[in-house]
Amino acid sequence: MTGSSVAEQGGKIAAIQMVSSKDVAGNLDQAARLIASAAAQGARVAVLPENFALIESGQIRELAEEELRDRRLSAWLAAQAREHGIWLVAGSSPALLRPDGSRIDDGRVRSRLLVVDQEGKIVASYDKRHLFDVDVGDALSSYRESERFEPGGDEVVVVDSPVGCLGLSICYDLRFPGHYQRLRDLGADILLVPAAFTRVTGEAHWEVLLRARAIETQCYCLGAGQGGVHSPKRQTWGHSMIVDPWGEVLGCKDQGEGVVVAEVDLGKIKRLRAEMPVWQHRRDRWL
């Protein structure tokens, strides 16, 4: 997929922040309210956070099997997109099949981002490449995503949208700047980071990483997070925000469910890249 032309006008984008639980129906009701709010505020593209439909990982394989059988989530996303005339980016949902159609048979799933256009068609998908296998000083203490998730391949994905070219990523990808440099090489205007950052790591690094990725690539950067208490041991940082290519935070929601809306000005990207042509100055294109 090719990058969008900077001659286009851009438009409003929305970062949706949720406090998802193990109740899929309740999570979808929460998401529906927030999508309606984003559309009412004029957003043409809205981004849901990672694990928007289910944050309880113990049930993730079951949800993937249900999706393969009944298309519960994809049908719901299509209906929401058509109802509101908006593009939806479903931060992540579990997938039982790899992009080549082969089945994952070791009990794990892929963490898959879906991009749905205003007619309800899935126009792009991306499988999370970097898995969060770390020890964190919180109540849960240890996170081992690779026990439940299979990593995606080496491919990075961009897709043209009504507001510009979207560069896709999920959560822990944010710590790997090469991922976003590749997205910029492919024409990205807006970097999307649906996430469920822990409170500890989010407080330390979330904003500075989002701003750094925006500044480095001269792209808008949108972080749509989970933001609240999900269980006695699970708390996420929230602070969903939209950052412009100069690194300015255009809007932020600290905790709880909500929507952050901002205008994308593709002309601003063009001007900044002309005035400060860092991509022409790069010495590391072989990386």
Q: What is the CATH number of the domain that holds 125?
A: 3.60.110.10
Q: Does 4 fall in a domain?
A: no
Distance in angstroms (rounded) separating the CA atoms of residues 166 and 188: 6
| Tokens, residue 178 | 């090469």
Answer whether 139's CB lies under 8 Å from 165's CB. no
Q: What pLDDT is attached to residue 245?
A: 98
Q: In a 3-state reduction of DSSP, which class is residue 12? A: strand
Active site residue 165: no
Q: What pLDDT is attached to residue 3?
A: 46
Active site residue 248: no
- Taking only the tens of pLDDT, the chain with its 287 residues reads 444 443 356 999 999 999 999 999 999 999 999 999 999 999 999 999 999 999 977 899 999 999 999 999 999 999 999 999 999 999 999 999 999 999 999 999 999 999 999 999 999 999 999 999 999 888 777 899 999 999 999 999 999 999 999 999 999 999 999 999 999 999 999 999 999 999 999 999 999 999 999 999 999 999 999 999 999 889 999 999 999 999 999 999 999 999 999 999 999 999 999 999 999 999 876 55
Q: Does 125 fall in a domain?
A: yes
Q: Does 134 fall in a domain?
A: yes
Residue-wise over 98-129: b if at least 16 C-beta within 10 A, else e? eeeeeebeeebbbbbbbbbbbebeeebbbbbb
Q: Does 1 fall in a domain?
A: no
**Structurally, how many domains does the chain consist of?**
1
Q: Does 233 fall in a domain?
A: yes
Q: Does 22 fall in a domain?
A: yes
Residue-wise over 242-262: b if at least 16 C-beta within 10 A, else e? bbbbebebbebbebebbbbbb
Summarised one tens digit per residue, pLDDT across range 93-126 is 999 999 999 999 999 999 999 999 999 999 999 9
Directed axis angle between helix 72-84 and helix 60-70, to 10°? 70
Q: Which domain holds residue 142?
A: 11-279
Distance in angstroms (rounded) separating the CA atoms of residues 121 and 43: 18
Q: What pLDDT is attached to residue 4?
A: 42
Q: What pLDDT is attached to residue 2?
A: 44
Catalytic site residue from 171, 219, 221, 252 = 171
User: How many other CB atoms are there within 10 angstroms of residue 284's CB atom?
Assistant: 7
**Cα distances (angstroms) measured from residue 198 to each of 110, 191, 239, 277:** 20, 21, 11, 35
Summarised one tens digit per residue, pLDDT across range 144-185 is 999 999 999 999 999 999 999 999 999 999 999 999 999 999
Active site residue 128: yes
**Cα distances (angstroms) measured from residue 276 to each of 70, 246, 280, 282:** 50, 11, 9, 12
Catalytic site residue from 50, 67, 145, 257 = 50
Q: Does 2 fall in a domain?
A: no
In sequence order, the 6+-apart residues with CB closer than 8 A to the CB of 77 are: 88, 90, 114, 116, 120
Q: What pLDDT is attached to residue 7?
A: 36
Q: What pLDDT is attached to residue 286?
A: 52
Catalytic site residue from 128, 150, 221, 252 = 128
